[in-house]
Amino acid sequence: MAKKGESAGRSWLLIALVVCALLSLYRASPQAAAKTQEATLLEFYEAMESGRLVEPVTRVFDRDEGSTYLAGEMEQKDELNDDGSPKKRKYRVRLVPGENERVMNDLLDNSIKVEVVEKKAAISPFIVQTLFFVGMLALLYWIMYRRMGGGGPFGFGKSKAKVLNGIEAKNKVTFADVAGVDEAREEVQEIVEFLKDPSAFKKLGGRIPKGVLLVGPPGTGKTLLARAIAGEAAVPFFAMSGSDFEEMFVGVGASRMRDVFAEAKKRAPCIVFIDEIDSIGQKRTGAGAIGGSHAYEQTLNTMLVEMDGFDANEGVIVIAATNRPDTLDSALLRPGRFDRQVVVELPTLKGRREILELHGKKITFAPDADLDRVARGTPGFSGADLANLLNEAALMAVRKKLDGVDMATLDEARDKVLWGRERKSAGYSQKDRECTAWHEAGHAILQVLLPNTDPLHKVTIIPRGRALGVTMSLPERDVLNRTRGYFLSEIRLCCGGRIAEEIALGDISTGAAQDIAQATQIARDMVCRFGMSDKFGFQAFVARSPLSGDENPPAFSEGTAREIDAEVRRLVDEAYADAKRVIEENRAKLEELAKALLEKETMDGREVERMVRGEDEAKAEGGEA
C-alpha cells in the first residue's frame, strides 16, 4: 500500500516537473529580448508629469535583494519613430525605503495604473509561478511521505537560496554613511577591530560579545549601523528580519535559523543581523499560548542554542535590533547572548544637522536654503525622517521647476513628512470645509492663548493624511521632559475643536474623535503614570505592557479603579469648561479666524498669532523673530 502511493507520487512529480520546465522555457524566451535602462526617480517623475509614462507601471518587490523598483515603458522626450509615434524605452527605477508610499500616492493622484508584483527569485515571474506549483506538489508529497513514517525526502530550508534573505551587502556601507549617532558608533568600534583581526584581538585579551542588541526608535539608523560595522571590517553581512519568520510552518523557522548560522560559521568572521528581533524574541507566555507562538518559541530556542554553541572567538557576531527591549524574553539578555546593549537615540540638534548635511550632499540647494534652520525645526525627527524630508524636497523642487531646493520647499517637505501629505479635496463639501474651519480655529486660538504650549506653526483646512484639517505646532527645541502645565494645556487644546463647532454651528461632528481619544489618554497618563493628580499624588497604577498596550492585572482595588476614573473625568471636564470659557471670551476672534481660514485655507502661525492677539501686541513681541 505504502509502496504504491510512493511511486505514484513520484511519477506525478516527474510529469509535473517536465510540464513546468517546458512551460517556463516557452514563456520566458520572449522576455529575454527586452533591454532595460536604469532611470532616476527624477526622470521618472518628469515622465509622469509630462504624461509620458506608458500604463501600467509595474512595482516589483524583489525578495532576494530586499529591494523595490518600478518598471515599465516611457516615451522618449522629443524622439520619434519613423511613423511619427514617440520612441519608447524600458526603464527601471530603484526605490529607497520610505519612498514607496509616496510614489504610489503620486501615481494614484495622477490616475496611473499600477501593477504590484513580488519577485521571489532572480528569474522571471513565470518560472516563479511554476516553481511555486512544483513546490506545492513537493510539499504534498512530503507530507504524505511523513504520514507514512519515512523521513522527508527533501531537506526543507536546507537550500541556500531560501536561507539567506538579505545575503551580503552589495554596496558597501561605512561609518561615513552614518551621522549623528556618535556614541553608538564609538561603542561598536571595538567590534570592528575584532572582526578585522580576531586572533590579534584575542591575543590582547579583549573580550568580545557574541551578541549586540541595538535599541532605539524606528528609522534611527540601526540597520545602517550594523551594515556599516560589516562594511568597515570588510566581512560578510547576513541580514534577516524577525518578521520573516512570522508566516512559517512549525519547524521551518527553526531550520532556517540553523542554516543561517551554519553558513555564517563557514564565512566567519561575519555579522548576522536580525532586525525586529522582538517578533521572535517576545517574552514567552507560558500556558495558554495561542496558535503561532509555539513556532516562534522554536525559532527563538534554536537561535539561543546556536549562540550558546559557538565560541565567541569564532568570529560570528549576532547583531539584533529592536525598539521594544522591554518586551524581550529575558533569556535573550543573559550573559553570552545579547549581553551588550547599544542605544541608538533620536538625533539631537547637532545630529540632525549632520544627517541633513550627509544626505544633502547629493542635492542642489538654492542660496537661501539653510540646513541649520531645518535641523532646528525638526525636533523628534529620526534619521530616516530627515532623509525622507530631503528627498521629498528635491522632488518638489523638480515639480516646481526650481534650479535648487529653497527654504520654502524644505519647510513644505518638513510639514509633509510630519503631518502627512495634502490630499486633493475631492468630495469635500462646503459644509465640511466650514465645520473644519471652525474646528481648527478653535484649536488654534487656544494654542495661541494658553500658557505652556508649543508655538503655533501653521493651521490648514486642506485635508492631510486622514485629518480634514490640521493645527500644527512645533516645539522650539528638543523636548526631553514635559511638565504638568504642558499636559493641562494640551488637554484643553484637544477640546478646542469640538467647542468651536458647538458654539458656531450648534451641532457637533465626528471630527473630534481623535481629539477626544488624545485628551482622555493624556489625563489617564497624568493620573496613572506620572503622579500628576492632586488626589493620588506620587503613585503609579499601571504596569502598562508595552507589547499589547494592555494594562497588566491592576495592582489596586476596584474602589481605587473607580476613583481613578473619577479623577480622569474631573481633569477632562475641568479642561473642557476652562477651554470653553477662554473661547467664549474670544468669540469675535474665533469668528474672524474661522472666516480667514475658509478664505485662505492655510495660515501661518505668526499670522494667526497677530490676528488673535491684536496687531500691536504681536509687534511688541516681534523682537524674537
Interacting residues toward ligand ADP by CB under 6 A = 97, 178-181, 218-224, 321, 355, 358, 383-384, 387
- Residue among 345, 333, 413, 320 at smallest CA distance from 374: 413
Strand-pair category, 456-460 with 470-473: antiparallel
Q: Is 463 in the site for Zn ion (CB under 5 A)?
A: no
The interface partner of residue 497, options being Zn ion, ligand ADP, none and the CB cut-off 5 to 8 Å by kind, is Zn ion
**Nearest approach, Cβ of residue 277 and Zn ion (Å):** 37
The answer to whether the CB of 516 falls within 8 A of the CB of 503 is no
Nearer to ligand ADP, 179 or 603 (CB): 179
Strand-pair category, 53-62 with 67-80: antiparallel
Q: Is 406 in the site for Zn ion (CB under 5 A)?
A: no
Q: Is the peptide bond before 269 cis (omega within 30 degrees of 0)?
A: yes
The interface partner of residue 515, options being Zn ion, ligand ADP, none and the CB cut-off 5 to 8 Å by kind, is Zn ion
Q: H helices within 267-317, ranges in order?
A: 293-309
**Nearest approach, Cβ of residue 229 and Zn ion (Å):** 45
Nearer to ligand ADP, 319 or 579 (CB): 319
Kindly give, in sequence order, each residue whose CB lies less than 8 Å from that of residue 140, ignoring residues fewer than 6 positions away.
9
Return the amino acid letter for 546.
P
User: Phi/psi of residue 200, each to 5°?
Assistant: -60, -40
**Nearest approach, Cβ of residue 131 and Zn ion (Å):** 52
Q: Is 501 in the site for Zn ion (CB under 5 A)?
A: no
The answer to whether the CB of 238 falls within 8 A of the CB of 232 is no
Q: List residues bridging with 53 in a β-sheet.
A: 74
Stretch that binds Zn ion, among 448-456, 515-523, 531-539, 594-602 (CB under 5 A): 515-523
Task: Label residue 529 left, alpha or beta by phi (over 0 means left) and psi (-120 to 50 means alpha).
Answer: alpha
Q: Is 325 in the site for Zn ion (CB under 5 A)?
A: no
The interface partner of residue 387, options being Zn ion, ligand ADP, none and the CB cut-off 5 to 8 Å by kind, is ligand ADP
Question: Which residue sits closest to Zn ion, CB atoms considered?
Answer: 497
Q: Please report the beta strands in 378-501, taking only residues with DSSP state E, as ranges in sequence order.
A: 456-460, 470-473
The interface partner of residue 180, options being ligand ADP, Zn ion, none and the CB cut-off 5 to 8 Å by kind, is ligand ADP
Q: Is 276 in the site for Zn ion (CB under 5 A)?
A: no
CA–CA–CA angle 270, 271, 275 (5° rounding):
165
Strand-pair category, 53-62 with 602-604: unpaired
Stretch that binds Zn ion, among 63-71, 187-195, 477-485, 497-505 (CB under 5 A): 497-505
Nearer to ligand ADP, 128 or 346 (CB): 346
Please return the burial class of 86, using the count of CB atoms within 10 Å of its CB with bins 0-12, 13-18 and 19+: middle
**Nearest approach, Cβ of residue 475 and Zn ion (Å):** 19
**Nearest approach, Cβ of residue 96 and ligand ADP (Å):** 7
The interface partner of residue 523, options being ligand ADP, Zn ion, none and the CB cut-off 5 to 8 Å by kind, is none
**Nearest approach, Cβ of residue 70 and ligand ADP (Å):** 19
**Nearest approach, Cβ of residue 220 and ligand ADP (Å):** 4
Nearer to ligand ADP, 167 or 358 (CB): 358
Catalytic, 168? Answer no
- Residue among 241, 223, 237 at smallest CA distance from 280: 241
Q: Is 347 in the site for Zn ion (CB under 5 A)?
A: no
Residue from 329, 490, 515, 567 touching Zn ion (CB under 5 A): that is: 515
The interface partner of residue 495, options being Zn ion, ligand ADP, none and the CB cut-off 5 to 8 Å by kind, is none
Q: Is 497 in the site for Zn ion (CB under 5 A)?
A: yes
The interface partner of residue 295, options being ligand ADP, Zn ion, none and the CB cut-off 5 to 8 Å by kind, is none
User: If binding means CB under 5 A, how many residues of this protein chain bind Zn ion?
Assistant: 2
**Nearest approach, Cβ of residue 517 and Zn ion (Å):** 11
Considering the candidates 75, 276, 440, 501, report the single residue annotated as catalytic. 440
Return the amino acid letter for 295.
A
Nearer to ligand ADP, 97 or 153 (CB): 97
Nearer to ligand ADP, 181 or 519 (CB): 181
Q: List residues bridging with 68 in a β-sheet.
A: 61, 95
The 211-215 sheet, strands edge to edge:
237-241, 270-275, 316-322, 211-215, 340-343
Question: Which residue sits closest to ligand ADP, CB atoms considered?
Answer: 383
The interface partner of residue 383, options being Zn ion, ligand ADP, none and the CB cut-off 5 to 8 Å by kind, is ligand ADP
Nearer to Zn ion, 467 or 611 (CB): 467
Q: 122 vs 3, 64, 535, CA distance in Å?
A: 38, 7, 64
Q: 108 vs 111, 283, 398, CA distance in Å?
A: 5, 41, 19
**Residue 284 DSSP symbol:** P
Nearer to ligand ADP, 97 or 622 (CB): 97
Identify the residue whose cell numbers are 462646503. 430
Return the amino acid letter for 468.
L
Which residues of the shown chain bind Zn ion in the complex (CB under 5 A)? Answer: 497, 515
Active centre residues (catalytic): 440
